[in-house]
Amino acid sequence: MAIKVFFSILLLIIVQSCGQENHVRTYRLPKPEKSSQKQKVETPTSGFSWEKPENWIPSAGSNMRLASFDVPFSDAKGDLSLIKLSGTGGDLESNINRWRGQLGLASQSLSEMKKNITTKEGKLGKYQLIKLFNNQSNSAFLCAIMPVGSQTLFVKLSGGLTGIQESETDFISFCSSIDFLE
């Protein structure tokens, strides 16, 4: 008798769970946001600190560099350099034209360059962000020029067009985080 009741209940559950509707239910879940954790780095010899994205890898650069990083892209990796020069390190136009030359681009006047320059605000104050692209060679630079008292910091990320575009937000965040050691 107990077995008959058990199978009757089981049959009733199966019948009730099968509906006549032939539709498929779909659900959409929000994609988790990419975590871009930052790591604070202090370099006593340089007198500066900054927050680097977790996926940036410290690398050996030249002795002119305060810091060097390999910046992973989806299709390759880029090279980031941070250097400090006394004074202004040259005027804006000559620095940008030097970088344009490194990319195989012709020189421009400062008025022509304005479309590639934006002003950002960081812990050290306002700085210039410059985007330079050479579509023919698939090469690009993101550069920042930061006047700091009687010296100037230059940050340059070089890589392919896609990688530079992917890394722009992290680059700006890094540049904006640069500060004097406390």
The CATH classification number of 58-180 equals: 3.40.1000.10
Q: Where are the alpha helices (DSSP H) in 48-157?
A: 92-102, 110-113
pLDDT for 28:
59
Q: Give the whole-angstrom CA distance, residue 155 versus residue 148.
A: 13
Considering the entire predicted model, what is its pTM?
A: 0.76
For residue 170, give both structure tokens: 């992290």
Cα angle: 100, vertex 104, 108; to 5 degrees? 40
- Domain ranges for the chain, please list them: 58-180
Percentage above 90 pLDDT, the chain:
64
Model confidence at 35: pLDDT above 50: no
User: Comparing 31 with 158, which gets the higher pLDDT?
Assistant: 158
**Lowest-pLDDT choice from 34-48, 99-113, 123-137:** 34-48
Model confidence at 8: pLDDT above 60: yes
